[in-house]
A and B are shown apart, each in its own frame.
Chain A
Amino acid sequence: MSTAERLRALLARDFDLAPAALQAEATLESLEIDSLRMIEILFCVEDEFKIAVPAEHAELKSRLKTFGDLAAYIDTLVAGKPRDPA
């Protein structure tokens, strides 16, 4: 399963989100994922993907705008790559 597929399954199972709505370009705002909900999602993502998401609020907020952003960000953490400066 790809990261996007695993993330989609996680969000559908634990966050009552419709899988069909979880497309790469779907904005977190349109999915009603606010900053508080995001904190819980990242907690679950850490468990699911066995990664640690750095606690840098402002940076996360600026780089994670869509479902696709989140999946790509997880990929970089899974790969253990240094975080993308862009």
Chain B
Amino acid sequence: MKPVAVTGIGVVAPLGNDPATFFAALLEARSGVRRLQSRYPQRLAARVGAPVDFDAARHFPAPKARMLDRVSQLALVAAAQAIEQSRGARAALDARRAGVFVGTGMGGSETTDDGYHTLYAEGSDRVKPFSVLMAMTNAPAAWIALDHGLQGPSLTFSTACSSSAVAIGEAARRIAAGEVDVMVAGGAEAPLTFGTLKAWEALRTLAAEDPVDPARSCKPFAKDRSGLVLGEGAAMLVLEDLDRARGRNAPILAQIAGYGLTTDTSHITRPSVEGQARAMRFALEDAGLGPDAIGYINAHGTGTPANDPVETAAIKDVFGPRAALTPVSSTKSMHGHLLGAAGALELVVAILAARARVLPPTAHLDAPDPECDLDYVPNRARRVDAVGAVMSSSFAFGGTNAVLVARVT
């Protein structure tokens, strides 16, 4: 793929509502996981999640806020940050050659949850008038396009946990192909509602609350890991044709160099070493890079019993002898699993790590699983001389594996 410039980054996430604050917290190995305030908290087996500290009233007038599900609010704030940082990506832009690709798994789940609560729990027929507009899965992308006047392609990708990695990869492809000049691409998710938490709980994928410290509940690659912890948030990037970005002296934060996309067809949830490895290989080939060029992998690393050994085996399969020498971390240990927003947020982490030359750790990794024997940067951030290119992996229920490779110039 012809490389594509990243000229803006926006983050609204557990641990920080801008990229710098968020990344600094990761380097301190702080956890955004905590006990949740929820409807019927006593009915949740595991009450932990990673919420965003977010006050919609600070960002939107009340009538507008009421039209936006939380997922769209988070998406809009992250997109505005990214566009602001891109310093005029919109200047002299043909708005018909700019668009928005957003990944989200659950869409406006708070609106859906509230609507059902009104109907079924309260026995009322007074469902909010904008419920359809708020809950529709394409609302975050639609609002970003509307607020910023981006009239080119606007698409929503929903491939569960790889949604936003797909959104970014597909957006980069459109720019590389010359179809568009600028894309806002990323992901948003706001799944911390009672109904969504119960659904994930029923699937037996959620981590048990750590009996000593709820913040330590998510333990990727550890022997005592028990599952994932859901998080919420949004991460958005401004992607831009590299020549255009250079021509206007834009801040080029990174380049999207490669994108690999595969589908497991063996099982609806069980990950496959072969499928994950193939996605990593495709991303490297797309970038024209060998495994030795990758200085850091931000793993999918959910902390579920199934994912972590399979992902470890896939990395070994692709990286061969380089696997043991390549630092890999799962920052989900701290910000939780943002589902459809995870790929975008974690690509941002990888880019910021390459820029700062500091690798964020895998937190809560005291007792490694013998089947997980790579260098996971346990518990403490690590300063390095150079990072070079970085890889971010996202693997999904439904089998869509998406891997992105970025490099910092």
Contact of B63 among A15, A39, A43, A46 (CB under 8 A): A15
Cα(A37)–Cα(B130), bound, Å? 10
Nearest CB to that of A42 among chain B residues?
B129
B129 pairs with A43, CB closer than 8 A: yes
B63 pairs with A16, CB closer than 8 A: yes
Render B53-76 as a binary contact track against A, CB cut-off 8 A, 1 for contact.
000000001110010000000000
B62 pairs with A14, CB closer than 8 A: yes
The answer to whether B128 has its CB under 8 Å from any CB of chain A is yes
Chain B residues near A37 (CB, 8 Å)?
A: 63
The answer to whether A40 has its CB under 8 Å from any CB of chain B is yes
Nearest CB to that of B128 among chain A residues?
A43
19 sample A-B contacts, Cβ–Cβ < 8 Å, listed by A number: A14-B62, A14-B63, A15-B62, A15-B63, A16-B61, A16-B62, A16-B63, A37-B63, A39-B129, A39-B130, A40-B63, A40-B66, A40-B129, A40-B130, A43-B126, A43-B128, A43-B129, A46-B126, A47-B126
Cα(A15)–Cα(B63), bound, Å? 5
Q: Measured between C-beta atoms, what is the minimum distance from B277 to chain A in Å?
A: 49
Cα(A40)–Cα(B127), bound, Å? 11
Q: Measured between C-beta atoms, what is the minimum distance from B218 to chain A in Å?
A: 39
Chain B residues near A14 (CB, 8 Å)?
A: 62-63
Cα(A15)–Cα(B66), bound, Å? 10
Nearest CB to that of B61 among chain A residues?
A16
Q: Of residues B62, B128, B129, B130, which shows the largest number of chain A Cβ atoms within 10 Å of its Cβ?
A: B129
Nearest CB to that of A13 among chain B residues?
B62
Cα(A15)–Cα(B129), bound, Å? 15
Cα(A37)–Cα(B129), bound, Å? 10
Chain A residues near B130 (CB, 8 Å)?
A: 39-40
Cα(A46)–Cα(B127), bound, Å? 13
Cα(A16)–Cα(B126), bound, Å? 23
Q: Measured between C-beta atoms, what is the minimum distance from A67 to chain B in Å?
A: 17
Cα(A25)–Cα(B337), bound, Å? 54
Chain A residues near B66 (CB, 8 Å)?
A: 40
Which positions 9-63 of chain A face chain B at CB distance < 8 Å? 14-16, 37, 39-40, 43, 46-47
Cα(A13)–Cα(B126), bound, Å? 20
Q: Of residues B61, B62, B63, which shows the largest number of chain A Cβ atoms within 10 Å of its Cβ?
A: B63
Which positions 284-341 of chain B face chain A at CB distance < 8 Å? none
Nearest CB to that of A47 among chain B residues?
B126
Cα(A37)–Cα(B61), bound, Å? 14
Cα(A14)–Cα(B129), bound, Å? 14
Cα(A11)–Cα(B130), bound, Å? 17
Chain B residues near A15 (CB, 8 Å)?
A: 62-63
Q: Measured between C-beta atoms, what is the minimum distance from A60 to chain B in Å?
A: 14
Cα(A40)–Cα(B67), bound, Å? 10
Chain A residues near B61 (CB, 8 Å)?
A: 16
If A16-B63, A43-B126 are given as contacts, then 16 extra A-B residue pairs at C-beta distance below 8 Å, sorted by A number, are A14-B62, A14-B63, A15-B62, A16-B61, A16-B62, A37-B63, A39-B129, A39-B130, A40-B63, A40-B66, A40-B129, A40-B130, A43-B128, A43-B129, A46-B126, A47-B126
Chain A residues near B128 (CB, 8 Å)?
A: 43
Chain A residues near B62 (CB, 8 Å)?
A: 14-16
Chain A residues near B126 (CB, 8 Å)?
A: 43, 46-47
Cα(A57)–Cα(B121), bound, Å? 30
